[in-house]
Amino acid sequence: MFYHNFKYSLKTLFKSKDLLFWTFIFPLILGTFFKLAFSNIEKSETFDVINIAIVDSSNYQDNKIYQEVFETLSDKNNENQVFNLKVTDLKQANSLLEEKEIIGYLEFLDDDIKITVKENGIDETILRYVVSEIQSRQALIETLVKEEIKQDSFSIDYEKIYSKIDALMNEEVTLQDISKNNLSYTMIEYYTLIAMAALYGGIIALTIMNAKLPNMQAVGKRTAVAPIKKGELIVSSLLASYLIQLMGLVILFIYTILVLKVDYGTHFILVIVLALVGSLAGLTTGVGVATLLKTNENAKIGILIALTMLECFLSGMMGITMKYIIDKNIPLLNLINPANMITDGLYSLYYYDTFNRFYFNIFSLLIYSLVIIGLSVIKLRRQKYDKL
């Protein structure tokens, strides 16, 4: 039964022209469009060092970590120089910002660091990321020391603390990828394209699920009265959908690499892993919309498309600033947003040398998929309908 349904689900999906277009053709068209639209921009685009200022104060002078990081990132002899730093007073900093001499400045308050920017763009985002990264490292070190002291207050192992701090400090989070060679708008667009193609799995899953639900389609009624367990029917159908989805991604990768000459860089395998897991999350979103919502077929398709677009928008696909705004103000929303998990995972490969954030996103996507599938199975088990 499993193979029988799997085989026919594949056949049905392969013969659905609409689905084939959106899964196989549309991402290629969009990829070609990106190539045509952005390649010229890319050629003329070079990464300029970002002009920033820091308001001089005793708080800043006491904060050796920030001083060291910003000095390193602003070192003209450093081939990965990111910032051009001016340490000045508040009045001068404001004046520089007004005259657009700098994109923003930092003020070291007693218990916080205030970032003042005039606009929201990629440069401002980089500044925020740097500050956020230093803050999280600093917090980690503080926790480490506190824990060590708490464990044995009589004999603090200073060497152990130093070695851990040393390890943390030497762990490279130097944002080396945001260099002239790698900061590519086109690359971000291709990552976006992969995320979008992965999330399109939802539409395939929704289509195949509707054909299994008696309250959606007449064929669903027919399968519901057959002596086949719903789990078997749904898993075999979804496996076929996943396979189609993966074929779409393979074609997209082959096309972008061989025809559009896209260089996915050193983390290509991880990009593929994220695309595979992202597709699974897209697929389960479709299953969730199909099973958990009580509305008609067309409304479900509309809801799924709107949901995917909203998720993409909130995750920064149409402008990275939105991602930052959500991260800062409603972080929970991005934690449960599969589109954000995909884009954040791709950006983490782009911005960081460590993979912690990448793996965090991979596991988040897997947990998200499991939760949605679990809820759907509970909803569908032994289900009878009030109305057909």
Partner 1 sequence: MENVIEVLNLTKKYKDLIAVDNLSFNVKKGEILGLLGPNGSGKTTTINCLLSLLNYDQGLIKIFGQEMKPTSYDIKAKIGVIFQEVAVFEELTVYENIDYFCGLYIKDKETRKKYVQDALDLVGIKEFSKFYPKQLSGGLLRRLNIACGIAHKPKLIFLDEPTVAVDPQSRSNILEGIKKLRDEGATIVYTTHYMEEVEILCDQIIILDNGKIIAEGTSDKLKELTDIEEKITVEIAKINPNLIKEIKQFTNVLEVKENTNMLTITYKKGKNNLEELIDYLKKNKINYNKIFSERPTLNDVFLELTGKELRD
Q: Which residues bind partner 1 (CB under 8 A)?
A: 1, 4-5, 8, 11-16, 211, 214, 217-219, 221-229, 382-388
CA atoms of 368 and 37, how far apart (whole Å): 35
**257, amino acid identity:** I
Whose Cβ is closer to partner 1: residue 12's or residue 57's?
Answer: 12
CB of 229 to partner 1, least distance (A): 7
CB of 19 to partner 1, least distance (A): 10
Backbone angles phi, psi at 365, to 5 degrees: -65, -40
Nearer to partner 1, 84 or 217 (CB): 217
Least distance from C-beta 226 to partner 1, angstroms?
4
CA distance 179 to 46: 9
Report the side by side order of strands in the sheet with 113-117. Answer: 83-88, 50-55, 104-108, 113-117
Q: Considering the complex, what minimum distance in angstroms separates the CB of residue 6 from partner 1?
A: 11
Closer Cβ to partner 1, 165 or 219, answer by number: 219
In the bound state with partner 1, the residue whose beta carbon lies nearer, of 17 and 91, is: 17
- Which 8-state DSSP code applies to residue 47? P
As measured in angstroms, the least distance from the Cβ of 380 to partner 1 is: 10
User: Residue 212 Cβ, how far from partner 1 at the closest point, in Å?
Assistant: 11
CB nearer partner 1, residue 221 or residue 357:
221
The H or E element spanning position 284 is helix 268-292
Residue 176 or 223 with smaller CB distance to partner 1: 223
Q: How far apart are CA 152 and CA 213, in angstroms?
A: 61
Q: Quote the least distance from Cβ 215 to partner 1, whole Å.
A: 9
Closest CA to 249 of 230, 273, 225, 267: 273
- Which neighbouring-strand residues pair with 84? 51
Query: Do 184 and 42 touch, CB atoms closer than 8 A?
Result: yes
C-alpha neighbours within 13 Å on the C-beta side of residue 144: 19
Q: CA-CA distance, 3 to 11, in Å (whole number)?
A: 12
Structure tokens at 388: 């057909």
The answer to whether 89 and 56 have CB atoms below 8 angstroms apart is: yes
Q: Residues near 358 by Cβ (< 8 Å), separated by ≥ 6? A: 270, 274, 345, 348, 349, 352
Judged by CB, which is closer to partner 1: 35, or 212?
212
Say which residues have a Cβ less than 8 Å from residue 66's Cβ, sequence separation at least 6. Answer: 60, 108, 113, 134
User: To the nearest whole angstrom, how small is the minimum distance from the Cβ of residue 236 to partner 1?
Assistant: 11
Q: Which is nearer to partner 1, 23 or 348 (CB)?
A: 23
Strands 50-55, 83-88: parallel, antiparallel or unpaired by DSSP?
parallel
Q: How far is the CB of 211 from partner 1 (least distance, A)?
A: 7
- Beta carbon nearer to partner 1, 13 or 106: 13
